[in-house]
Amino acid sequence: MHDGKPNIRGLEAEAYQQGGYFSIDQASGHRVSRQLLNHHVKQGRFERIGRGLYRLRGFPRSDHDEMREKWMTVGRDKAVLSHESALALLELSDNIPDEVHLLVPRSRRGLRRPAGVVIHTRPDVEEVATVWRDGLPLTAPARTLVDAAGDIQPDQAMMAIRQALDRGLVTRPQLEHEAAQRRRAHLIARLLPDR
């Protein structure tokens, strides 16, 4: 649709791919103004979740809605889930993190941090290997394990590493390489199972 008219159906289709959520920027990309959004909120078509974040009313809830809301609030193009949040999404931990952990470029460290979010930074030029789970981007398994290893109990870290190796999510050399890059080789070496 290039005739300048609002594309509500296109916005809804995009939201379907994101667990029913969409941002004010995405609405704008479909030529849906703030006034039109407010109209649809009042009519019950959309619900306002937070600053700049909306959801299709009645869209089924998922176990990871809180993570999705925090990630989209910080910015879909700026952040990926990391550390304990990524560990939970990879199903390598039984712990449900109290806060949502997000990894952002260092130049974005001053962004508005929603309540319940822990911001971790990386060099702006660093390419971060990501995988997708439940429509959410997160750090790849090796990076996740190395990042989380220093933040969780050693027995939990060992269990997560063992499960990742057993399930074929990572290899020992991948973990060792990632640990060396993050200067955590000594920590991961202690947590790796004996050969």
Query: For residue range 94-103, what is the model confidence (pLDDT) as tens digits?
Result: 777 789 999 9
Q: Residue 1: what pLDDT?
A: 44
How much of the chain is helix, strand and coil, in % rounded to 5?
45, 15, 40
Helix (H) / strand (E) element for 178: namely helix 172-181
DSSP 4: S
**pTM score of the predicted model:** 0.85
Where are the domains positioned within the chain? 8-56, 65-191
Q: Do residues 124 and 105 make contact, with C-beta atoms less than 8 angstroms apart?
A: yes
Helix (H) / strand (E) element for 133: namely strand 130-133
pLDDT of 40 strictly over 90: yes
Q: What b/e readout covers 107-136, taking b as 16+ CB neighbours within 10 angstroms?
A: ebeebeebeebbbbebeeeeebebbeeeeb
Q: Distance (Å, rounded) from C-alpha 29 to C-alpha 52?
A: 13
Work out the percent of the chain whose per-residue pLDDT is above 70.
98
Q: Do residues 148 and 99 make contact, with C-beta atoms less than 8 angstroms apart?
A: no
For the segment 99-148, what is each residue's pLDDT rounded down to a tens digit? 999 999 998 877 777 889 999 999 888 889 999 998 899 999 999 999 99
Q: Distance (Å, rounded) from C-alpha 46 to C-alpha 112?
A: 24
